[in-house]
């Protein structure tokens, strides 16, 4: 297995630099606690002093007792114009009172000259004395060598000098950063080997011994740096994904000796994102057989991944490896048949090892195996030789040629199967509906709301029912009127709510005459389910999905 690795998460800092990804202090605390449950070694909480929210996070997280995770504060080397003990950035890092501090410094000479506008030797000095100032105040001290790979390619001797001075200042881990994300795996491998060789041969005296992290999050034994044949510090990797290589670059670095890996949950981050820990961790644990504390908790990975996107108010990437909804989804009939015999035929790992599930999709590529698999899942007794299997498959393909899609609407597909078998009860029958929208012609502008009213006429158990209701939009009005008509017959509908409503235009070349597909996600106190409707009329498509949703709820409750 080799030596224990350190997993360092920077979702709360580097991740929040992503477009449309924002977290409150409360969100950051909840994510920290979730990552602690997973067993992540370090969580970078932010840059103290950069804004009031970051400062408040460090104050708030001290109220929680973390089982394993160590919180790290992040900042930069000092301003050249101020000594370390007067630099507001460094003093804010100390004031955060974290067990770990990470600071970054310039590795690329072009940044020293054009960004900092100081001499190359001056940059070396601020790297060393910034770290030396922090060393007595903190248990874990990490140095992020910003733009290291680009800096090395431009000026190898100078980039290596920055690392030497970081070690002399007391850094316990040198994290080599591909900040622009443009370095390819072959370059990472070559440069990483050359850095290891240089540090192994260089005479560097660190100002403090290296302290390593045990599995319980406590400091391990001290080791004096600079021994013969042994690197004076650990090496780490911090990759960005601008060339789609961040995960590969991180794994290669580990294979070459890196023992500290930085990244974010779901790869969220500035521009194209950071190295994706939800891909890196299972690859390290399950494929490369490397040990780190979170390796024991990989079945919690999918749950953690979706927790972060939920708090960030982002849609979860269904195509994401390992943790995406489609990561272990099988659509083609031949694939389904093979997977049922042996999942290894089309799956690189057992989905349960990362907390995900195998899904057999219903689609226009579906075969008899798909239908039988779904029937078993729905508790429907259906024999493979039953002619109804062919009937259901034919009906499915007819509907999908019209634009129906059941991959996000399994409740509608279950109703389709039960109707074909004659086992679905007719809870109500539509006699007609009408939806009207009215806007005051004297309204001052488009911000004035349109008043929508829906009227429905139903037959429930031989009794005619007429109901009308207002709503925010035509679909909401129709939903309100339908529930109003049914509530006295089926009071359990009060516990049902609509979670999501999506409209997709099909064949957009037809413009406003195109068909639309409506997907509705509903829930009650026990479960969630999806339904679908398709029509040239968006109201009719919505009605179909609404009716399926209510019918499924009533059928589910009756069978419970």
Q: Can you tell me the distance from the alpha carbon of 383 to that of 400, in angstroms, rounded to the nearest whole number? A: 24
Q: Can you tell me the distance from the alpha carbon of 173 to that of 259, in angstroms, rounded to the nearest whole number? A: 9
Location of structure tokens 């460090």: 58
β-bridge partners, 6: 260
Q: Give the contacts of 4 (CB within 8 A, at least 6 positions apart).
A: 212, 213, 215, 259, 291, 292
* Residue 334: predicted pLDDT: 64
How many residues are there in the chain?
Answer: 560
Q: Give the contacts of 379 (CB within 8 A, at least 6 positions apart).
A: none
Does residue 178 contact residue 240 with C-beta atoms inside 8 Å?
Answer: yes
Q: Can you tell me the distance from the alpha carbon of 450 to that of 222, in angstroms, rounded to the nearest whole number? A: 70
Nearest to 135 by CA among 107, 98, 89, 101: 101
Location of structure tokens 């207002």: 470
* Residue 367: predicted pLDDT: 65
Burial of 509 (0-12, 13-18, 19+ CB in 10 A): exposed
Does residue 408 contact residue 545 with C-beta atoms inside 8 Å?
Answer: no
Q: How confident is the model at residue 423 (pLDDT cuts 50, 70, 90)?
A: confident
Does residue 90 contact residue 104 with C-beta atoms inside 8 Å?
Answer: no
Q: Give the contacts of 512 (CB within 8 A, at least 6 positions apart).
A: none
The CA-atom distances, in angstroms, between 94 and each of 9, 73, 132 are: 20, 9, 13
Q: Give the contacts of 304 (CB within 8 A, at least 6 positions apart).
A: 34, 35, 37, 38, 265, 278
Does residue 90 contact residue 84 with C-beta atoms inside 8 Å?
Answer: yes
The CA-atom distances, in angstroms, between 31 and each of 9, 18, 37, 140 are: 11, 16, 10, 21
* Residue 192: predicted pLDDT: 96
* Residue 3: predicted pLDDT: 77
Radius of gyration of the chain, Cα coordinates, nearest whole angstrom: 29
* Residue 214: predicted pLDDT: 41
Nearest to 549 by CA among 537, 532, 525, 526: 532
**pLDDT digits over 275-330, tens only?**
999 999 999 999 999 999 999 999 999 999 988 987 887 878 989 999 998 898 88
Which of helix, strand or coil describes residue 7? strand
Is residue 357's pLDDT more than 90? no
Q: Give the contacts of 369 (CB within 8 A, at least 6 positions apart).
A: 333, 336, 337, 340, 360
**pLDDT digits over 102-147, tens only?**
999 999 999 999 999 999 999 999 999 999 999 999 999 999 999 9
Is residue 56's pLDDT more than 90? yes
Which segment, 40-44, 313-317, 499-503, 537-541, is predicted with the most confidence on average?
Answer: 40-44
Which segment, 1-5, 101-105, 431-435, is predicted with the most confidence on average?
Answer: 101-105
Q: Give the contacts of 236 (CB within 8 A, at least 6 positions apart).
A: 6, 8, 142, 173, 174, 175, 176, 253, 258, 259, 260, 261, 262
Is residue 41's pLDDT more than 90? yes
Mean pLDDT on 384-401: 83
- All structural domains of the chain: 6-311 (3.20.20.70), 329-401 (no CATH), 429-559 (3.30.160.270)
Does residue 273 contact residue 254 with C-beta atoms inside 8 Å?
Answer: no
**pLDDT digits over 363-378, tens only?**
545 567 778 878 888 8
Does residue 164 contact residue 202 with C-beta atoms inside 8 Å?
Answer: yes
- Angle in degrees, 0-180, between the axes of helices 52-61 and 25-38, rounded to the nearest 10: 40
What does the DSSP assignment read for 289-324?
A: ----GGGGGGGGHHHHHHHHHHHTT----TT-TTTS
| Strand pairing report for 528-535 and 516-523 | antiparallel
Location of structure tokens 């910034």: 130
- % pLDDT > 70, the chain: 89
Q: How far is CA 282 from the centre of its chain?
A: 14
Mean pLDDT on 437-464: 79
- % pLDDT > 90, the chain: 63
Q: Whole-prediction pTM value?
A: 0.70
Does residue 544 contact residue 554 with C-beta atoms inside 8 Å?
Answer: no
């Amino acid at each position: 297995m080799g030596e224990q690795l350190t997993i360092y998460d920077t979702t709360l800092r580097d991740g929040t630099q992503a477009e449309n990804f924002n977290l409150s202090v409360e969100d950051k605390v909840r994510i920290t606690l979730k990552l602690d449950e997973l067993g992540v070694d370090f969580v970078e909480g932010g840059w103290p002093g950069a804004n009031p929210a970051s400062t408040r996070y460090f104050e708030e997280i001290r109220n929680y007792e973390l089982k394993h995770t160590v919180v790290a504060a992040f900042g930069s080397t000092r301003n050249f114009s101020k000594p370390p003990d007067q630099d507001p950035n460094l003093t804010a890092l100390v004031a955060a009172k974290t067990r770990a501090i990470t600071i970054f410094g310039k590795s690329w000479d072009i940044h020293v000259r054009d960004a900092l506008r100081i001499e190359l030797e001056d940059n070396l000095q601020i790297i060393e004395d910034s770290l030396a100032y922090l060393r007595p105040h903190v248990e874990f001290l990490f140095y992020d060598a910003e733009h290291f790979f680009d800096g090395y390619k431009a000026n190898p001797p100078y980039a290596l000098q920055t690392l030497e001075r970081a070690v002399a200042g007391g850094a316990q881990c040198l994290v080599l950063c591909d900040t622009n994300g443009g370095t390819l795996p072959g370059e990472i491998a070559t440069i990483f080997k050359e850095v290891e060789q240089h540090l192994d041969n260089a005479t560097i005296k660190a100002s403090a011994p290296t302290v390593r992290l045990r599995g319980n999050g406590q400091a391990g034994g001290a080791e004096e740096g600079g021994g013969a044949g042994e690197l004076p510090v650990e090496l780490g990797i911090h990759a960005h994904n601008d060339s789609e290589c961040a995960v590969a670059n991180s794994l290669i670095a580990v294979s070459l000796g890196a023992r500290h890996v930085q990244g974010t949950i779901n790869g969220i981050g500035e521009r194209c994102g950071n190295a994706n820990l939800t891909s890196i961790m299972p690859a390290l644990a399950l494929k490369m057989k490397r040990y780190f504390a979170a390796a024991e908790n990989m079945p919690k990975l999918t749950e953690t991944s979706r927790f972060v996107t939920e708090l960030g108010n982002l849609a979860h990437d269904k195509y994401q490896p390992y943790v995406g909804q489609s990561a272990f989804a099988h659509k083609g009939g031949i694939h389904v048949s093979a997977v049922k015999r042996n999942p290894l035929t089309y799956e690189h790992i057992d989905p349960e090892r990362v907390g995900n599930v195998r899904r057999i999709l219903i689609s226009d590529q579906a075969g008899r195996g798909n239908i039988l698999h779904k029937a078993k899942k729905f508790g429907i007794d259906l024999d493979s030789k039953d002619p109804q299997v062919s009937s259901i498959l034919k009906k499915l393909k007819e509907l999908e040629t019209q634009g129906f899609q059941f991959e996000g609407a399994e409740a509608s597909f279950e109703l389709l199967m039960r109707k074909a078998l004659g086992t679905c009860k007719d809870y109500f029958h539509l006699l007609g509906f009408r939806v009207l929208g009215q806007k005051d012609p004297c309204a001052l502008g488009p911000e004035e709301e349109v008043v929508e009213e829906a009227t429905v006429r139903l037959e429930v158990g031989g009794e005619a029912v007429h109901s009308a209701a207002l709503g925010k939009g035509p679909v909401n009005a129709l939903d309100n009127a339908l529930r109003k008509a049914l509530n006295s017959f089926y009071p359990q509908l009060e516990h049902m709510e609509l979670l999501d409503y999506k409209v997709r235009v099909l064949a957009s070349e037809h413009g406003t005459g195109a068909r639309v597909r409506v997907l509705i996600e509903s829930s009650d106190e026990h479960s969630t389910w999806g339904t679908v409707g398709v029509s040239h009329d968006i109201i009719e498509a919505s009605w179909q999905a609404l009716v399926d949703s209510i019918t499924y709820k009533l059928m589910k409750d009756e069978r419970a």
